[in-house]
Amino acid sequence: MTIPDIVGAGLIVIGAGLGIGRIGGQAMEAIARQPEASGKIQTAMLIAAALIEGIGFAALFAA
Amino acid sequence: MRNSFFSKKLVAVIFLIAGFVSAQNHEGEEVETGAHDLKTEIKEYIDHHLLDSHDFNLFSYTTDEGEHKYVGFPLPVILWDNGLKVFLSSEFEHGEAVAEVDGNYYKLYHNKIYKTDAQGTINYGGHQGEETHEEEAFGEHLVVDDTHPTNEKPLDLSITKNVVFIAAVALLMFLMFRSMAKRYQKSTMPTGLGRFLEPLVLFVRDEIAIPNIGEHKYKRYMSYLLTVFFFVWIINLLGLTPLGVNVTNNIAVTFALAMITYLITTFTGNKNYWKHIFWMPGVPVPMKIILAPIELLGTFIKPFSLMIRLYANITAGHVVLMSIIGLMFIFKNWIGSPLSFLLAFALSLLELLVAALQAYIFTMLSALYFGMAVEEDHH
Amino acid sequence: MEKLLEEFSLGLFVWQLLLFVGLLLLLRKYAWKPILGAVEKREEGIKEALEAAEAAKKEMQNVTADSEKLLKEARAERDALLKEAREIKEGIISEAKEQAQAEGDKIIKQAQATIESEKKAAVADIKAQVANLSIEIAEKVIKEELSDKGKQQKLVESMLSDIKLN
């Protein structure tokens, strides 16, 4: 693993982290606003987070 | 009432597993050489742990005479090399000997079987002809193995440790659910194991299949969703036990699972699904032409991300967990070792969650893709 | 990525595929179908039982309403019967009274007629007797006259004073 690889990996992790964090935060807000829709929000949140995670992993393996 | 029962059981299971995990590194204790050697040893151990192997090793240790002893049992090796070759992995003697079958010689090298000459010579053609190269990374001096043997590789269809484990889990699942199914013949209420499993089955049906696929079409996918959910979950959980056979951190395993999801999606996709891929309705024609390859690529990316997610989560979890356990033996003092023990304990708990979560996400996303494939046109 | 490709084991892939598909088919036949079937059957049973209970409740309500209606009708009928009976009773009584009145009147009339005829007979009888007496008296008077003229006069006078007509 060379230095550029590590920096790239770090950037990927930061990006993915920000993305998933944002999804989680917004989902919390949405649940607080509409607790009765929490099931649907959770499902949508997991799907979105999983997609970002997938991209993140793909990039990590490419790095 | 049911919840508290579950949580009690869960706590019991967690303690059990945490105990096992901490018991997992008795092998490491045998190492008495210096700190740097210890680090290498731990790294090798982790690498070894993550890889599949041709024999079922329970543990190994070094005797006072410096001899490596392995406790376990050999597994059958099945090769296709101009004919079927079957022999026991004990002939390799853990990579230390050359196995001779029908006049051909095979050697185990880094858990892969290569065809060699009678002396078991491995030809290297790797990084500028060097066996290893050294580099600075993570602020440490690392020795990176950079060898690529150029020997011929026969088609290896051996019953490896992971295959044994997969078969064991398959058998376990079959017995579990068969007995559960049989009990329904006697009464309509679940009894025994069914009381624990039925809510999970219903969870897969009511929370995963029906919302994603739809009330009318979910039935044909239930078998796959249930099987994959319980398979991934059970195999992840068993990967956390001291046997520690990590099946889902093999890309081949997750690839097979993702491929089945892809095949089911492709073969059950209706007209509407294909229309959305090749001729996206509701967008101008130039966009349709641009979108078609992207959407087509998307159909491959979806199962690919399924494969990578499961593989990476489990692998990362195990690497981190084992590294922290390894730290215990590097610190060897009153502050560091208990600290890393606590950390390992907490991480084990997290891994239990991850085991279930990854099974859930895999099933959930599979269901979502199936749902997309059978969605009716509603424009 | 290279590491992943290098790690990929075709043997493991083939075994995983075979074992998993085998497990899937076996479980589908021997476990999932019976389990899901039983669960579905149970859920259907519960649904049906609930529906049946609902229907029974409705039926019960209907029955209650019906019985109330019947009771009301019965009560009305009873009232009607009682009223009719009372009317009949009154009719009978008044008829009886009338009949009795008529009979009584008839009897009284007959009695009166009888009395009248008796009276007539009695008067006739008296008249006859008076005539007889008159004749007798006349006889005696005649006899006295035959003896004494004064005496005869006296006798007639005394006799006339004796006779009292009723």
Q: Count A/C contacts: CB-CB distance under 8 Å.
A: 3
Range in B285-289, C5-9, C126-130 the model is least confident about: C5-9
Which residue is it, tokens 């088919």? Answer: C25
What number of other Cβ atoms are within 10 A of residue B225's Cβ? 25
pTM value is 0.70
> Which phi and psi (to 5°) does residue B86 adopt?
-125, 125
How is residue B154 written in tokens? 């026969």
Give the count of beta carbons closer than 10 Å to the beta carbon of residue B91. Answer: 15
Which residues of chain C neighbour A61 with C-beta distances below 8 Å? Answer: 1, 4
For residue B123, what pLDDT is reported? 66
Size of interface A-B (CB pairs under 8 A): 44
Q: How far is C2 from chain A (nearest CA, A)?
A: 9
pLDDT band for position C54 (50/70/90)? Answer: very high
CA dist., res. B219 & res. B201, Å (int): 13
DSSP symbol at C148 = -
Contact (CB, 8 A) for B367 and B208: yes
The model's pLDDT over B142-187, given as tens digits with 9 standing for 90+, comes to: 555 555 666 777 777 888 888 888 898 999 999 999 888 888 888 7
Q: Enumerate neighbours of C (3 or more CB pairs within 8 A).
A: A, B
Which chain C residues are Cβ-neighbours of B52 within 8 angstroms?
9, 12
Q: Is A1 touching C (CB cutoff 8 A)?
A: no
**Which pLDDT belongs to residue B191?**
77
Q: Do the beta carbons of residue B242 and residue B23 sit within 8 Å? A: yes
The residue type of A24 is G
**Is C10 in CB contact (< 8 Å) with chain A?**
no
Dist CA A27 CA A29 (whole Å): 5
Averaged over successive runs of 10 residues, the pLDDT of chain B (379 residues) comes to: 48 48 42 59 75 72 68 77 75 71 73 72 56 56 58 78 88 90 81 85 90 86 93 90 76 91 90 83 83 86 85 85 82 78 88 90 90 78
Residue pair B316/A60 in contact (Cβ under 8 Å)? The answer is no
pLDDT the model gives residue B326: 81
CA distance B237 to B358: 11
| ipTM confidence | 0.76
Q: Please check whether residue B223 is in contact with residue C32, taking contact to mean a CB–CB distance below 8 angstroms.
A: yes
Q: Which residues of chain B does A57 touch, with a Cβ-Cβ cutoff of 8 Å? A: 305, 308-309, 312
Cβ within 8 Å, pair B308-A54: yes
Give yes or no for B368 touching A (CB within 8 A): yes
pLDDT, one tens digit per residue, over A4-53 is 888 888 898 899 899 999 999 999 999 999 988 888 888 788 778 877 87
User: By the 8 A CB rule, do C8 and B311 touch?
Assistant: no
Distance, in Å, from the CA atom of B254 to the CA atom of B208, rounded to the nearest integer, reads 20
Q: Which residue of B has its CA nearest to A2?
A: B137
Q: What is the pLDDT of residue B133?
A: 56
Asked if B260 is an interface residue toward chain C (Cβ–Cβ < 8 A), one would say yes
**Side-chain half-sphere CA neighbours of B49 within 13 A:** 29
Q: Is the pLDDT of residue C9 over 60?
A: yes
Bridge partner residues of B76 (DSSP): B88
